[in-house]
Each structure stands twice: as C-alpha cells, then as structure tokens.
Amino acid sequence: MLGLTQKFAAAVLLLLTLVACGQSEEAVAPALTRPVKTFIVEGGGGNTLRTFPGRVDASQRAELSFRVPGRLQEILVKEGDVVTEGQVLARLDASDYQLVYEDRKATFDNSKSNFERGKELIARGNISRMDYDRMEANFRTASAALSQAEKDVEYTVLKSPFSGRIAQRKVENLEEVAAKQTVFSLQNTKQLDVIIEVPESVVRMVRRMGDVDRSIESDGKANVTGAYAEFEGHSGEKFPLKPKEIATKANDQTQTFRATFTMDSPATFTVLPGMTTTVLLDLSQLIAAESDLIKRVPVRAVQSDSALQSSVWILDPDSMTVASRAVVIGRMSGDQVEVTEGLVGGEEIVAVGAPYLAEGMKVSRMALTEQAVPRADDPL
C-alpha cells in the first residue's frame, strides 16, 4: 500500500515538473547563474548555525503623565537618566488643589460634627429619622469629596512606576499640561527585547526553542535555547537569548516571521533600544534531537523523471553550485511532502526554481520577495 502511495506521489510530482518545464527530461544548459529560493532541511547536521540581523527594543515601556491638569513647577530628571521605582520625576503647582483640599476638609469636619451630634439626638428622640438621614448623607458626601481632593493633591506628583531609563522628555518646565498628556517616556533597560525576522524554513525550529528542555554551555553559562546576540565592538561576547513570542502570520511583503527574544542588559557596556545586533541561532541540538523524524520539504523542491524517480537539488554553499540527489518520498500534506530516504537533515535544497536547473549549475539565493521565472534561453 505504501508503495502505491509513493508511486502516486511521485507521479503527481512528475506532472508538476512537466508543467513547469514543458518537457520531461531535457537538460537545462548551465550557462548563467540561476537565482533560486532555498530551504533548510530539518534534522541531521549541515549548516546548523544561522545568523540574522536584529533590532533591540525595551522589554517594558510606559508613557508617563499626570492624572490632573496644571502648570509644571519642577522637572527633576532629564533624558537618559536612570530612575528607580517610586522616584519623583516631576511636580505640578499644587496650590489650587491644596485650597480645594482645605475647603473640603472644613466641610468634612463640620458634617462629621453634625453627624456625631445627630447620633446622640436621634437616640434621645429629639430629631426625626429624616433629619438624621440627611446628616448622614451630608457626612458621606463630604467624606468622598475630601478623599478625591487628597488624591488630586497626590496626583500633582509624578513618580516612576518601575525602574528604568528616561527615554524622552516631551514637555518643558512651567508649561501648562493637560491630564493624561505624556510627560516622559520610560523604558526598562535591565531586560531588553531582540527582534529578528526569520524565514519559514527556520520559524518552526525557533518556535520549538521555548518548548525543548536542553542547555548549551558557553563561557560557563547555560543557554537553553541556543540563541545568542552579538554586538559590534564586542564580537567575542555572546549574550544568551530567551524566546518571548513568535508571530503566527508572515509579513505580507517579506514572507518572514517576526521572532522576539529577551536578554539581560550587558553589564560591561550600554545597549539602548533602537540599536542593532547580530543574532546567532545554533540549531544543532534541536536538529540532533529530531534527527530520527521524517524530513518534510516543499513539494516544489522535489523533481521526478519519467521513471518516477524523485530527486532534489542540493546547494553547495561554498561553490554555490547544485547537485541532484535521489530521494524516496512518502505522503503529501498541503504544500509539503515527506522524504523518507535520501536526506539526513541540514541540507540546503532548492525550493523554488528547481525545474530550470542542471547538474553543476551555479545559482544565487533570491531575495524573499523575488520570483523564479524562466529565462529567454530556457527550453519550452
């Protein structure tokens, strides 16, 4: 039954190849460098170290504002200052709010006194229940008004909600500011986010990094993910990264997936949000742990001849030439097909442009947004 399934799948691939090429076995002349898209086969050895350009961002950020309007009386920090949780950053002129507080405090004291006296009078039957209820309502209303006035006075002082660095100051001293108008941008730089864009061939392994319990020793530090960041001028230092979140939808323009990692801020030099970094993904342990799994490759990567023999084009990254390798295929699922024999994992194979290749042809990796199209000298 499996043999029939393999033959059927091979026949389908042959039909796809004939449609793409216009003929079954006619070779393509390796005259020019052919642009292709490639795919890294999961499992086994091969090129297991991948590098990607990354961008640093703050792991925690906040736009700070006063909860009441007023005139800025004092700004106590400047851009770039490191602040601690609870530190006072700025103050409004609180004189108007203080007057309101004092007025409401007097009203509260008077209503409280009347209410306490009302308790004695109603106990002796000297006042009606209606009069007593009115005294109680006045007291509770005055109490709520006083509480709000106290809060308004407190709101004239702006404090840091967490430890971090002042990234931006957006107002000037003595300026009139509205409630909820941004005064400072605060960023937590003790932990940083590192953002990269990864292709489909890598995103599945990156997603598994957060699920697999393994460690890699590097300079005496354990990295359970095999992901590191390097910074210009500090190439000898690797900083472990931990997966934070991975997009489930590809970017419409680049067809890549956004992967976000977190890292501790380096102790020996300053890294700020907006800086760039190089991210290294060591996929060797992920690949080794799954080397016994069936390999899955894009359907378009597999070619079939008239004898229903399936093959893929293997890219040699040193010479940038391709060589054909026979494979045994299994079941097809969507745009992928199982390869049960012929691939050990880690190979870089041609995923788009395979019908136009010949043995030993030089190729170049295409940008993700390019498409493989026939050349004028390709056979029809």
* pLDDT tens digit sequence for 139-190: 999 999 999 999 999 999 999 999 999 999 999 999 999 999 999 999 998 8
Whether the model pTM is above 0.85: no
Non-local (6+) Cβ contacts of 297 within 8 A are 39, 41, 312, 336, 337, 339, 343, 349, 351
In Å, what is the CA distance from 24 to each residue of 16, 128, 197, 288, 334?
10, 106, 38, 37, 24
Non-local (6+) Cβ contacts of 140 within 8 A are none
- Looking at domain 49-60+188-289, its CATH class is mainly beta
Strand partners, 196: 259
SS3 content of the chain, % helix, strand, coil (to 5): 25, 40, 35
CA distance 38 to 51: 16
Q: What is the pLDDT of residues 96-132, one digit of tens each?
A: 999 999 999 999 999 999 999 999 999 999 999 999 9
8 A C-beta contact, residue 350 and residue 313: yes
CA distance 151 to 174: 22
Domain ranges of the chain: 2-46+291-365, 49-60+188-289, 94-150
8 A C-beta contact, residue 338 and residue 310: no
Q: Nearest CA to 354 among 374, 370, 334? A: 374
Q: Which amino acid is at 251?
A: N
Name the CATH topology of 2-46+291-365.
2.40.420
- Residue 206's pLDDT is 83
| CATH value of 94-150 in 3.40.440.10, 1.10.287.470, 3.90.105.10, 1.10.10.10 | 1.10.287.470
- How confident is the prediction along the chain (380 residues), in pLDDT tens digits per residue? 445 455 555 555 555 555 454 444 444 444 578 999 999 887 544 456 889 999 999 989 999 999 999 999 999 999 999 999 999 999 999 999 999 999 999 999 999 999 999 999 999 999 999 999 999 999 999 999 999 999 999 999 999 999 999 999 999 999 999 999 999 999 998 889 999 999 887 887 788 775 553 444 444 444 445 899 999 988 789 999 999 999 989 999 988 999 999 999 998 898 988 999 999 998 776 665 555 556 889 999 999 888 889 999 999 999 999 999 999 888 787 888 888 888 888 899 999 989 999 999 999 988 655 454 444 454 44
CA torsion, points 249, 255, 259, 265, in degrees to nearest 10? -140
